[in-house]
Structure 1
């Protein structure tokens, strides 16, 4: 455990080098919320409630979901693995005296730990500056389950991107997979619009898949909604994380012998 904490610490400190990236990361968080504010101000004009949301609760949902979307930074895992495999330097990770997936998860933990502080600051400034009547859950069970879902959601997305990176061992070029993933994730996680606005049949279908629980459900729980789904959501997302762990181990063991490295 100590070596993984050290990896997380190193990558946390590494983020201090890229100060411009941190500034733009904060700006993207604020920009996403500004767009939501402008859009829903127009939609709510002359209306009090839309699909059970008031204007304040809708903005609260977008602030939370935007925050969660911005701290999900695991796309760098698939990019790093893919580049290393294609240029022949993936051996750098294969010879490490630790679990390779654990290394990338620790790396992601260090990066997220750094950015989470600034994203919280950005969201707080937005709420205070525009005097939003922020809606937040009062139920302790919902809050605890939401926090568990946030953790499991970040873990699942890191596992998914690790898996996509490993597919380079089989297909060499995975840009199509990454493009599909990037284009779909924002929609199916409820970052673009709350899934409650979609047809009920489609929403019910999406409950069988992990993306429903990554951003949408914790955002709803933290705004005091969907409390009846809290415990079930934690169990289902935990099961998906276990499934992804098994898939990742199988994929690496099956395809690692196909790697023809030229150095580290």
Structure 2
């Protein structure tokens, strides 16, 4: 545990070096909010409600979901692992005195913790610029539940990206997999479009999978909706996280023997 904390602290400090990355991430958060404002201004027009959302509630959802999606820095795991395996440098991770997956998880936590403040500032600024009547629940139970979903959801995304990264041992190049994953995740987590706008049968099907609970549900909870899905959601998401533990361990131990340390 001490090693994990030291890695988190080190990565947190090193983020100061990557100033352009910080600016780019904040700019991307802002651009998503601006895009949502323009699109939903046109969609709502003279309408008061769409699918239970007012215009300001919809923008509140987008601000929160954009903040949560940008907080997830786990996508780097897949790219970093893939690059190291193909470049023949992955052996440096194999000799670390810490479990490889835990190392990458600790790295991601450090990066996410650092960016949290900047994305929060960006979100707050745009609330004032657009003069949004920001919808945010005061229910402590819903706030704590949303925090649980965010933490467990981030852990799942770290596991998913780690698994995709180590598949490079098998396939050699997984760039296409990572790009497809990134596009799909943006949609099925509700970052691009609130899932409530989809047909009820599709939404019911998506509740079986973890992505529904990573961005969409915590965003809905934070604007005071979907309280009745909390218990089922935490159980479902936790089961997915637990299922990935043996899967990643098995894949890593079976596939790492293919690594010869000289690149591809």
Q: TM-score, normalised by structure 2?
A: 0.97
Moved more, 251-260 or 109-118: 251-260
**Residue aligning to 2:38:** 38
**Residue aligning to 2:255:** 255
Is 1:118 matched up with 2:118? Answer: yes
Count how many residue pairs are aligned between Structure 1 and Structure 2.
263
In the TM superposition, residue 242 of structure 1 has moved relative to its aligned partner by 0.7
> Considering only aligned residues, what root-mean-square deviation do their CA atoms show, in Å?
1.0
- Give SS of 1:257's match: helix
Q: What does residue range 72-83 of structure 1 map to in structure 2 within 5 Å?
A: 72-83=72-83
**Residue aligning to 2:146:** 146
**Residue aligning to 1:232:** 232
In the TM superposition, residue 256 of structure 1 has moved relative to its aligned partner by 1.3
Q: What does residue range 209-220 of structure 1 map to in structure 2 within 5 Å?
A: 209-220=209-220
- Give SS of 2:255's match: helix
**Residue aligning to 2:11:** 11
- Give SS of 1:116's match: helix
**Residue aligning to 1:223:** 223
**Residue aligning to 2:109:** 109
In the TM superposition, residue 139 of structure 1 has moved relative to its aligned partner by 2.0
In the TM superposition, residue 176 of structure 1 has moved relative to its aligned partner by 2.0
Is 1:184 matched up with 2:184? Answer: yes
- Looking at structure 2, the residues matched to 241 and 45 of structure 1 have their Cα atoms a distance apart, in angstroms, of 42
- Looking at structure 2, the residues matched to 151 and 241 of structure 1 have their Cα atoms a distance apart, in angstroms, of 11
List per-residue Cα deviations over 1:92-148 (Å, max 9, x = no partner).
000111111110000000000010110000001111222211001132221111100
- Looking at structure 1, the residues matched to 21 and 192 of structure 2 have their Cα atoms a distance apart, in angstroms, of 23
**Residue aligning to 1:94:** 94
- Give structure 2 stretches of 5+ with no counterpart: none
List per-residue Cα deviations over 1:53-89 (Å, max 9, x = no partner).
0111100000000001111111110111111111111
- Looking at structure 1, the residues matched to 262 and 58 of structure 2 have their Cα atoms a distance apart, in angstroms, of 53
List per-residue Cα deviations over 1:142-172 (Å, max 9, x = no partner).
1111100001111111110000001011111
- Looking at structure 1, the residues matched to 13 and 97 of structure 2 have their Cα atoms a distance apart, in angstroms, of 22
In the TM superposition, residue 33 of structure 1 has moved relative to its aligned partner by 0.2
- Give SS of 2:60's match: helix
- Looking at structure 2, the residues matched to 36 and 56 of structure 1 have their Cα atoms a distance apart, in angstroms, of 11
